Amino acid sequence: MKRRGLFKKIGATAGAAAAGFAAPAIGQGLMEWRMVTSWPKGLPGLGAGVERLAARIGEMSGGRLTVKVYAAGELVPAFECFGAVASGTAQLGHDASYYHLGKSEGTAFYTAFPFGFTAPEIEAWVKYGEGQKLWDELYAPFGIRAFLAGNTGTQMLGWFKKEVRSVDDLQGLKFRAPGNQGKILQKLGVTPVALPGGEIFPALQSGAIDAAEWIGPYNDLALGFYQVCRYYYSHGYHEPGAALQLMINEAAWRSLPADLQAIVKAAAEAANGDIWAEYNARSGPALRTLVEKHGVIVKGLPEDVLMACGEKSNEVLNEVYEAGDATVKKIVVDFLKFRAEVIPWTRIADQAYVNARRLPFKFGLKS
Ligand code: CA
Contact call for residues 243 and 150 (beta carbons, < 8 A)? yes
Q: Give CA angle at 164 (159, 165), nearest 5°.
A: 160
The CA 26 to ligand 1 mean position distance, Å, reads 39
Q: What is the reported pLDDT for 2? A: 40
Q: Which amino acid is at 361?
A: F
The CA 63 to ligand 1 mean position distance, Å, reads 34
- How many Å apart are CA 149 and CA 123, to the nearest integer? 10
The CA 64 to ligand 1 mean position distance, Å, reads 35
Query: Residue 145: phi, psi to the nearest 5?
Result: -125, 160
Backbone φ/ψ region at 331: left (φ over 0), alpha (ψ -120 to 50), beta? alpha
The CA 189 to ligand 1 mean position distance, Å, reads 20
Say what the pTM is.
Answer: 0.89
- The pairing of strands 231-233 and 158-160 is antiparallel
The CA 274 to ligand 1 mean position distance, Å, reads 18
- How many Å apart are CA 94 and CA 59, to the nearest integer? 19
The CA 51 to ligand 1 mean position distance, Å, reads 20
The CA 332 to ligand 1 mean position distance, Å, reads 21
- How many Å apart are CA 92 and CA 35, to the nearest integer? 4
The CA 261 to ligand 1 mean position distance, Å, reads 30
Contact call for residues 156 and 237 (beta carbons, < 8 A)? no
The CA 239 to ligand 1 mean position distance, Å, reads 6
The CA 154 to ligand 1 mean position distance, Å, reads 9
- How many Å apart are CA 178 and CA 27, to the nearest integer? 41
Cα R_g (the chain), whole angstroms: 21
Q: What is the reported pLDDT for 28? A: 60
- Structural domains present in the chain: 14-151+240-282 (3.40.190.170), 158-238+295-324 (3.40.190.10)
The CA 215 to ligand 1 mean position distance, Å, reads 4
Q: What is the reported pLDDT for 72? A: 96
Q: What is the reported pLDDT for 14? A: 39
The CA 209 to ligand 1 mean position distance, Å, reads 16
Whether the CA torsion 340, 241, 179, 248 is positive or negative: it is negative
User: Count of residues for the chain?
Assistant: 367
The CA 237 to ligand 1 mean position distance, Å, reads 10
Q: What is the reported pLDDT for 230? A: 98
The CA 151 to ligand 1 mean position distance, Å, reads 11
- How many Å apart are CA 4 and CA 14, to the nearest integer? 15
Backbone φ/ψ region at 295: left (φ over 0), alpha (ψ -120 to 50), beta? left
The CA 25 to ligand 1 mean position distance, Å, reads 42
Residues 6+ apart with CB under 8 A from 316: 114, 180, 183, 184, 187
Number of other CB atoms surrounding residue 159 within 10 Å: 26
Could you report the average pLDDT of every consecutive run of 10 residues in the chain (367 residues)?
38 39 52 96 92 98 98 96 98 96 97 98 98 98 98 98 97 94 97 92 97 96 96 96 98 98 98 97 98 98 97 98 98 98 97 96 92
Number of other CB atoms surrounding residue 328 within 10 Å: 21
The CA 364 to ligand 1 mean position distance, Å, reads 34
The CA 178 to ligand 1 mean position distance, Å, reads 8
The CA 346 to ligand 1 mean position distance, Å, reads 23
Query: DSSP readout, 240-288?
Result: TT-EEEEEEEHHHHHTS-HHHHHHHHHHHHHHHHHHHHHHHHHHHHHHH
The CA 76 to ligand 1 mean position distance, Å, reads 21
Per DSSP (E only), the strands in the chain are 31-37, 65-70, 92-95, 144-151, 158-160, 174-176, 191-193, 211-212, 231-233, 243-249, 297-299
Q: What is the reported pLDDT for 103? A: 96
